[in-house]
Structures are given as structure tokens and as C-alpha cells.
Amino acid sequence: MTIAERVARGTVLLDQKMGSSWRKKITEPVRINSLSACVLGQVYGDWGDGCRALGLDLGFECTEYGFDIALFVKAGNYDENIHNTEIFENHGSEADALEEEWGKVIKN
């Protein structure tokens, strides 16, 4: 699944749960590597809270909806501290692509 397809799935899910009002809660650039500045962090206050509110597991499903990088699928489990490690930084290009795609969605 492409980055655009993943973000489109996340957009549809957020629209189904909140209508278009979620876009108004995005007040700063999306940063996938931040639990509070990512899409779910800005909409729900925290990435994990957002995943739970949407009924998504904290790994594969969040990745499939464009809310996270594929690293967590490969890791096999979720660790909130991984967002602040070198491991995450090595997957910057995927994070950059997700941030760019979310930016396009939010502008529209």
C-alpha cells in the first residue's frame, strides 16, 4: 500500500468518526515522530489515545491508516519510547513522506 493510500484510509476513518472538524484541530505542521504533534496527537491529544479512540491497535492498524511508519509492524510490538530513539530516525524518509501527504490532505 502506498503512502497516499494509507493516508487516504486514515482520512476516511477520521471523517467517519468526526466529520471534517478534525482538520481544524491540526494547528501546527504534522510530525509523525511526535506523539503530540502527529495527526492523532493534535486531534486527540496523544497518538496512543487517538489509536484507541479510533479502535485501532497500536501497531499494524495505525500504520495501515497512515498514522505511523512501518517500523512498528516489523518490530512486532509497540513501545511509546521508540519514537525518541535512533531507530525511528533511520526511517525518516517514510516519516517525511507521511508528513507531506498529511499536509496535502489538511490543506484541502
- Per-domain boundaries in the chain: 3-107
Helices within 1-108 (DSSP H only):
3-18, 39-44, 47-53, 60-64, 71-75, 86-89, 92-107
Q: What is the C-alpha to C-alpha distance for residues 103 and 78, in angstroms, rounded to an integer?
A: 25
Structure pTM? 0.80
Nearest partner of 38 among 26, 22, 49, judged by Cα: 26
Q: What is the pLDDT of residues 65-74, one digit of tens each?
A: 999 887 644 4
What is residue 59's predicted lDDT score, i.e. its pLDDT? Answer: 74
What's the rounded Cα separation, in Å, for the pair 107 and 89?
26
Residues 23-46 have a mean pLDDT of 93
**Pairwise pLDDT comparison (77 vs 13), residue with the higher score:** 13
